[in-house]
Amino acid sequence: MNAYGTLLKKLIRFTNIKLTNLAEIVGYDTSYISKWCNKGKLPAAKAAPNVNKCLADVFAREIVAQEDATLFAAEFNASGPYDESSISSTIFQLLKDAYKRSYEDTAENPNMSGLTAPRMLLWQLDIKNFFVTELPQMLKCLNEPCHILCTMDICGFLPDLSYEARHTNHYNAPVHIKMGINPERRGVDHSYIPKLYYFLNNYNDINFDFYNNSCMDYMNLFIVKNCVAVQCALDKDYRISIAHIITDISQVNSLYQKINSEFTLSRLMIHSSDSEELFYNGYRTEFYAHNSFQIMVTRGFEFLLPAQINPRLIQAARNQGFDESMAQLVAHLGITWEEIFEKGEIDFYLLKTNLLRYITDGTIYFADVVYHMSVEERKEHIQHVLELVQKNPKIRFFIIDDECIPNSEYLFQMSVYNNKRKLFLKNMEHYTTQCGPSFYTIQNESLISEISQYFDTLKSESFCNVYQSEDVFRFYEKYGTMIDRMLSIE
């Protein structure tokens, strides 16, 4: 805790004044004063003298009223006289000195400087460092749920962000960001869809909601509620050329309130969700009411399972502490997929590394249930796949050689489920870290169409190999012995 927070907390305890009364007199919300006391935050530099003077007057009045002037002098090493005016002057000087020490300490700490130091960033390196390094570190210091607004399109103003070294921050509290999507930019940038997908994968521990930003893109604002705001100037290529860092909390929250109302009026495009929401709003039921699917699996392979696995998955749901509704969901999904596999048109996109990992460790993710397939169950699974593709030639596999894609180990954390009318992403990393959303649902038809088209273009890429029904049999004839040997090792 900094010197200012320690002193302020000590004065509050000494006078036994209620935080709500203090907040009302000083003119700040109790949450701000609590953060000054407990979380290393400081009043804005311009407001600090008035805040400290008001605090000093309040504490001095309480000390005199409680006849604790002599005790105050002993506790805080103060000298007389002991009238209200003198005590107020003493406390004001104590607060002023503590604020100065804390401000200087914070300015020397790059992880916290943005919380208290307003400034102008003029160079690309400084701007990139703020968004990629400094801002995440600032968020990491917060201990309460964090709400952020960004009117700008992330894929436009930081085009290379998704390809940087992996985002590895672990926040103390959930982070929820409302962000803009620019429909016009999507139309001219053919790499937009993979950029957006890679971005969500890289930041899979953050909850994003994306909105159509046609009415607010020009505002160029990034706002962290109760913390900091960034006003940006963009060049002709939509890159940030100047960033003005605003740290006055009253200004930050006024901006937040105004811009949040703009988001409320904008169309939601991508929504962070969980399994319960998907179930109760009928999204899952509607999704499976079709017969044409594009599915990209990034962890395990929970499809084309033999029927005898279903009761074990239901029992696993109960064993893992889910309520009976999850067991019913697992049972329902098992039956639904059996029906779809018989006649449905399904394109599976599988990562080569994930396929090998599944063969060796056998972990699948069925709904929210994590299940470890035994060696015998995996063998049964393989045989069942061979039988199904023979019966239904409309099941195809597209194997992506992800070793040919730079940084693929963290760019493919989310599985994609698409029936070309409804589409959702499943955040596989959530089941390991319990951070970020379980799912993202795509709420916009044109965006679903663009993603569907992107999957179609993947088929012609050099790193993607297609396996029709007869190809699957030839593949197994060629590599079946190796697969059996890999399984026998376990």
- Same domain, yes or no: 170 and 98: no
Do 420 and 480 fall within a single domain? yes
281 and 258 in one domain?
Answer: no
Among 30-39, 294-303, 442-451, the minimum mean pLDDT is found in 30-39
Average pLDDT over residues 50-78: 89
Higher pLDDT, 190 or 413: 413
pLDDT value for 302: 94
Q: Note whether 33 and 119 are same-domain residues.
A: no
- Residues 303 and 434 occupy one common structural domain: yes
- Where a domain ends, among 69, 86, 107? 107
CATH of the domain at 42: 1.10.260
> 381 with 283, same domain?
yes
Give the CB-side neighbour count of residue 425, counting CA atoms within 13 A.
26
What CATH code is carried by the domain that includes residue 122?
3.30.870.10
Final residue of a structural domain among 247, 266, 285: 266
Range with the lowest mean pLDDT among 88-97, 181-190, 322-331, 370-379? Answer: 181-190
Same domain, 281 and 383: yes
CB 79 within 8 A of CB 283: no
Are residues 366 and 232 part of one domain?
A: no
* Alpha carbons 470 and 467: distance in angstroms, whole number: 8
pLDDT of residue 163: 47
Q: Residues 309-321: what's their mean pLDDT?
A: 92
pLDDT band, residue 456 (cuts 50/70/90)? very high
Examine the fold and report which residue of 266, 295, 318 is the final residue of a domain before the chain moves on: 266
Q: What is the pLDDT of residue 246?
A: 94
User: Are the beta carbons of 243 and 121 closer than 8 angstroms?
Assistant: yes
Q: Is 107's pLDDT higher than 60?
A: no
Q: Identify the band that residue 111 occupies on the pLDDT scale cut at 50, 70 and 90.
A: very low
How many domains does the structure of the chain reveal?
Answer: 3
Do 211 and 337 share a domain, yes or no? no
396 and 472, same domain (yes or no): yes
Same domain assignment for residues 19 and 102: yes
Residue 286, pLDDT score? 83
Q: Looking at 12-16, 168-172, 183-187, which range is the least confident one?
A: 168-172
Cβ atoms < 10 Å from Cβ of 429: 17
For residues 322 and 199, membership in a common domain is answered with no
Query: Using 50, 70 and 90 to split pLDDT, how confident is the model at 108?
Result: very low
Average pLDDT over the chain, rounded to an integer: 86
> pLDDT-based confidence at 112, cuts 50/70/90?
very low
pLDDT at 261 over 50: yes
Confidence of residue 477 (pLDDT cuts 50, 70, 90): confident
**Tell me, what's the pLDDT at 358?**
92
Range of the domain at 160: 115-266
- What the block records as the tokens of 443 is 């709420």
Between 177 and 329, the higher pLDDT residue: 177
Cα three-residue angle 206-212-218, rounded to 5 degrees: 100
Q: pLDDT, tens digit, for every residue of 127-145? A: 888 888 888 888 877 777 8
